[in-house]
Chains A and B, each alone.
Chain A
Amino acid sequence: MPETTGLIIGSIVTLLIFSYLIGDNLLYRWALALLVGASTGYALAVALHFIIFDWVNNIQPSDSLTLRLYYLVPLLLGALLLLKGIPRLSALGNVSMGFMLGVGAAVAVSGALLGTLIPQMQTTATGISLKAGGSALLNGGLILVGTLSSLFVFSPRLRQADKELRPITLWLQRLGRAFVVVSLAVAFSGALTSALTILIERLWGLADFAQLLFQFLSSVTGS
């Protein structure tokens, strides 16, 4: 039964979204608002359940004062953070904001260095090695040339219109634009594939809904 209910509701909302074919209308906007509202409400409920309630429930009466104070600190910081919404008391929320930004920056920077920059540089450097073979060398060379030429495209100094560029710089910029275009095309293809997959699922869901509706009508009419 829940599956049937979900099927019916999902099909109706899908048709509301498809109404955009005839232009922007109230039904389409209502469906969008429903999506945004449901997502926000669900996220709030999850945050309250898994953060606030669990944190409060973890405080046991038998816990020592030190442990209770330990649980009190995040609650106090969270309460101070809520004061950011009040202009008169917003200054008190700067303590929580500073703590969050500091910790977040520390974790993010370490992760970016050790998880993104260094490993990817190692991977790129490994691909350029002569020992890796011709295909690997070509792959690494393409990666290197594409990365450098793309940097030429986005360099602010080289984008000045009143400055005459040297031919090699001009050609590197053009090559970089080509790599950027190809990258964007690949990203677009992936997004299109994902969208088409979702479209297929929705249309098949509508087909199931239509079949279900046909069966229902048949049972009602007795034919």
Chain B
Amino acid sequence: MIRCPKCNALNKDGSSFCNKCGSPLQKTQIRCPMCGTLNPVGNLFCDRCHARLVPLEKVIPPESTAEPEETSASRVQGISLPTRPAATGEGAADKGEESLNWLEGLLKPESEAETPPSETSLPTAGLPDWIADLAPAEPEVQEEAEAETTVAPAELPAWLSGLTPAEPTEESASAPAIPQDTELPEWLAAQGEEEPPAALSTPEQEAPPAPAEMPAWLSGLTPAEPAEEAASAPAISRDTELPEWLTTQREEEPSAALNTPEQEISPAPAEMPAWLSGLTPAEPAEEAATSALDTLSDESQKPTPQEEVAAEIPAWLADLAPAGTAPESKTVIFTDEETTSAQEIKTPVPELETEKAHKTPAWLQEITPAPETISPPPSVPAFTLEEGEPPAEETGEGVVFLDEPAELAEKAVEIPDWLRDLAPTSTEEAPASAALQQAEVPQWLESLRPPGTGPLPETALPDTEPGSIGEEVAGGLIKAEIPTWVQQLRPDTTATVAAPSPLDEVATSPQEEAGPLKGLQGILPALPVVDMPPDFQPQPALGASSQVMEAAQLWQDLLQHPRSTKRPVARAHARPGWGQTVSRWIVAVLLVLAALAPILGFLPETLAQPPLQAGVAPLQLAVEGLQAGDTALVALEYGPAEANEMDHITEALLTHLMEHGVQVVAVSTVPEGVGLIQTWLDWAETRYQPAEGSLVNGGYLPGESNGIAQFLGSPQRTPKPDFLLVLAARTGPLRWWVEQNAVAGSRALPMGVGLSASTGPRMRPYLDVYGVQGWLIGLPGTTAYWQSRGIRPNEGLARRLDALLLTQWVAAGLLLAGAAYYLTAGKKGAA
């Protein structure tokens, strides 16, 4: 199914236009490789399994200028439904090329695929000062720095090319091949106005950017560089504000390290990625680590197991470890301004060498504020890690003592807003562990409180073991006596026997000795759910009448003593039973015998006498009053299905008209009547041989009442008729003729009607309306019409009338028999 992008309606596959709104649809051309579902061309993902239909490849546009429609069909863009047409023209091509260039820039060249990623160099040319200040420090070791790999300049986008580390002049820090006519974002172009970045200007540029402009946090990504190149490390002013949790980890010495702009970055292990290689901690000698991520290990030192472990620890974690502290004992101290006492929480602390100076990340160092701007730091935990050892229960092991709040306050720096938001709330909103707040207990719950108990007092968490009852423990809590009802709920811990399983319970339970469940085990006793009081008397419903009570009593008796009656089995199929089949055959046989009796010779004489019909005589007189040459409009409003009955009426009336020399114009508003018209006209012409033009076939008269109105009101269609004869077996055509003839008013035609037996009783009111001269109904009326003319009906008509009489008697008898059966035994049979 194809979904219309305009009205979201579903259309069949292969549709070109929407069936609801008419908008053009894109035909399905893409088959999902996963599930095989056909999807519209504009889909990027499969509608059924959501697999990607379009691979992540750059679609190279053909050299020849293709039609926009073809391009849009071949280049699939957009997302899943509703689809959007692909952009066309050169702008689209340039946009696409530009959008893919930055992707290409992320790809490494084959020549450098095997080179450690840590050897990536990031040029800093053309970068703003705040980024340039974040340039990484020079690593102490220079050998690894030379071995660092640089990203192919031709593949780096502009904004990444400017971030490549400082490289020697002999190294080509070529920028990605970005065409000069590429439209750069404004924010990037403005930055490159002062000093056009080498990457954006020419792709052949090989001069490395000034190392001084390397961002500090990015400088950590660079490999070990010569010391002279570390001058680009920006100095972190003391005005930069550090968060509490970082400043608490600093040693005394790191404060000096914050001022040194130079940082040493030891090269990262070869197996470490570039972004991690920059995380190598600075040497203890070179404390001014202004790189974004300090390295952990020093290649000049042989890595100890701890160092190896530390080397595996990310720098941002290692940097948080304070230097010069006892690695064996560290703890985390919560400092709270409200409580001067520090609450120590023991945590595992990795063992670090004391030699390793705490290296604050460069990006943090540069934001450290001046000492005079230190504000009381919020109470935040300081995390330390110990090498694989669980926290010791005893204090002093794995505990690190942090600075006093005062000292921390001194060292606190101005915290940026984004970091302040991450910090815990103010000291007023102390952790909930500091104090328990008594929640407001609702009244309904208060009512359920057992007697003898009261609301819990507002107390803080006890920091010591509770003492004896009534003894005030630390924090203002008083040990209370456990109520008896709570003690009763205490589980019995003395019993060590395990609870028996349900199967064991069944096996050990006694067997039933009597009843239908004899011999079974595990039968639960039938106990009442609710014990009724001995003197319980159910109160009758208020306002219940005696009838309701009697009905309720009857229901109760029935439920207590159900009737043992057989329920009738529902039949699997709906086939009629033998009774219905027999009755059906009996009725059919009787009717057939009654209908065939006259022709089989069962009746020596005719029995039926046509009943008197009030409209027969006036109709006969009306037709008798027509003169030769008059025109009679005959409306033959019945079809072959009713012809068996209406043909006798038509024959009688048409014969009368032909015998008077009346011209006949026959029409029909029923399509099936057109064939009958021709048949009767041929019969009349063959039998009476009238003058030419005396019999006119008016044909089909469409439009029902509209057509009749037009026909009667159009004098040019036919000669003005003198008499209107309607022969109808249906109610509609008769009503139309009667109504439209009455609408004519003074021009209304004298009307005669011949109806079938089924239409007569229903249209009887119309027969008394002004304009209807006479009428006859069914076979009896036809017989009466012949008799009114003084003509003996033919033998066939008489026999048919006898057969009708007999069948009517049989039908009446069967109806009476059925009524009698229903009155006597019908209710029982129906039940």
Q: Check A104 against B705 for contact (C-beta < 8 Å).
A: yes
Task: Identify the stretch in A62-70, A170-178, A187-195 within 8 Å (CB) of chain B at 4 or more residues.
Answer: A187-195
Given contacts A88-B22, A115-B742, A193-B758, contact A42 B592 (CB under 8 A): no
Q: Check A23 against B576 for contact (C-beta < 8 Å).
A: yes
User: Within 8 Å of chain B (Cβ to Cβ): is A204?
Assistant: yes
In the bound assembly, the distance between CA atoms of A43 and B674 in angstroms comes to 9
Q: Check B769 against A51 for contact (C-beta < 8 Å).
A: no
Listed residue (A115, A116, A202) with the most chain B CB atoms within 10 angstroms of its CB? A115
Q: Check A202 against B644 for contact (C-beta < 8 Å).
A: yes
Residue of chain A at shortest CB distance from B591: A199
User: Within 8 Å of chain A (Cβ to Cβ): is B567?
Assistant: no
- B residues near A194, Cβ cutoff 8 Å: 642, 645, 729, 756-759, 778
In the bound assembly, the distance between CA atoms of A198 and B639 in angstroms comes to 13
- A residues near B591, Cβ cutoff 8 Å: 196, 199
- A residues near B778, Cβ cutoff 8 Å: 190, 193-194, 197
Given contacts A196-B804, A200-B807, A202-B644, contact A111 B743 (CB under 8 A): yes
Q: Check A47 against B700 for contact (C-beta < 8 Å).
A: yes
Residue of chain B at shortest CB distance from A106: B706
In the bound assembly, the distance between CA atoms of A141 and B576 in angstroms comes to 48
User: Within 8 Å of chain B (Cβ to Cβ): is A148?
Assistant: no
Q: Check B736 against A88 for contact (C-beta < 8 Å).
A: no
In the bound assembly, the distance between CA atoms of A47 and B703 in angstroms comes to 11
- B residues near A120, Cβ cutoff 8 Å: 765, 768-769
- A residues near B37, Cβ cutoff 8 Å: none
Residue of chain A at shortest CB distance from B20: A87
Pick the contact of A193: B700, B704, B808 (CB < 8 A): B808
| Dominant SS among interface residues on chain B | helix
- A residues near B632, Cβ cutoff 8 Å: none
Interface flags for A85-100 (1: CB within 8 Å of B; 0: not) read 0011100000000000
User: Within 8 Å of chain B (Cβ to Cβ): is A107?
Assistant: yes
Listed residue (A87, A89, A111, A187) with the most chain B CB atoms within 10 angstroms of its CB? A111
- A residues near B639, Cβ cutoff 8 Å: 39
Number of A-B contacts (CB under 8 A): 150
- B residues near A123, Cβ cutoff 8 Å: 765, 768-769
Given contacts A115-B742, A204-B599, contact A47 B702 (CB under 8 A): yes
Pick the contact of A204: B740, B757, B800 (CB < 8 A): B800
In the bound assembly, the distance between CA atoms of A42 and B675 in angstroms comes to 9
Pick the contact of B671: A47, A119, A202 (CB < 8 A): A47
Residue of chain A at shortest CB distance from B737: A115
Interface flags for B740-768 (1: CB within 8 Å of A; 0: not) read 11110000000000001111111001101
Pick the contact of B595: A111, A193, A203 (CB < 8 A): A203
User: Within 8 Å of chain A (Cβ to Cβ): is B803?
Assistant: yes
CB within 8 Å of B: which A90-138 residues: 103-104, 107-108, 110-112, 114-116, 119-120, 122-123
Given contacts A114-B739, A196-B811, contact A190 B760 (CB under 8 A): yes
Q: How large is the interface on B (under 10, 10 to 19, 20 to 34, 35 or more residues)?
A: 35 or more
In the bound assembly, the distance between CA atoms of A111 and B766 in angstroms comes to 13
Pick the contact of B800: A103, A119, A189, A200 (CB < 8 A): A200
The minimal Cβ–Cβ distance linking B10 to chain A, given in whole angstroms, is 13
User: Within 8 Å of chain B (Cβ to Cβ): is A33?
Assistant: no
Interface flags for A201-215 (1: CB within 8 Å of B; 0: not) read 111100100000000
In the bound assembly, the distance between CA atoms of A42 and B766 in angstroms comes to 31
In the bound assembly, the distance between CA atoms of A203 and B600 in angstroms comes to 12
Q: Check A116 against B739 for contact (C-beta < 8 Å).
A: yes
User: Within 8 Å of chain B (Cβ to Cβ): is A79?
Assistant: no
- A residues near B585, Cβ cutoff 8 Å: 21
Q: Check A114 against B576 for contact (C-beta < 8 Å).
A: no
Pick the contact of A111: B17, B20, B736 (CB < 8 A): B736
Pick the contact of A197: B592, B644, B759 (CB < 8 A): B644
User: Within 8 Å of chain A (Cβ to Cβ): is B38?
Assistant: no
- A residues near B674, Cβ cutoff 8 Å: 46, 50
Given contacts A111-B739, A193-B804, A198-B645, contact A43 B761 (CB under 8 A): no
- B residues near A21, Cβ cutoff 8 Å: 584-585, 588
- A residues near B702, Cβ cutoff 8 Å: 47, 50-51
* Known pairs A114-B742, A193-B779, A194-B757 / 6 extra A-B pairs, C-beta < 8 Å: A42-B671, A50-B699, A88-B20, A88-B21, A88-B22, A111-B740
Q: What are 20 A-to-B residue pairs whose CB atoms are below 8 Å?
A: A39-B639, A42-B675, A49-B700, A88-B17, A88-B20, A89-B22, A103-B706, A110-B743, A111-B736, A116-B769, A122-B770, A187-B761, A190-B760, A190-B777, A193-B778, A194-B642, A194-B645, A194-B757, A203-B592, A204-B599
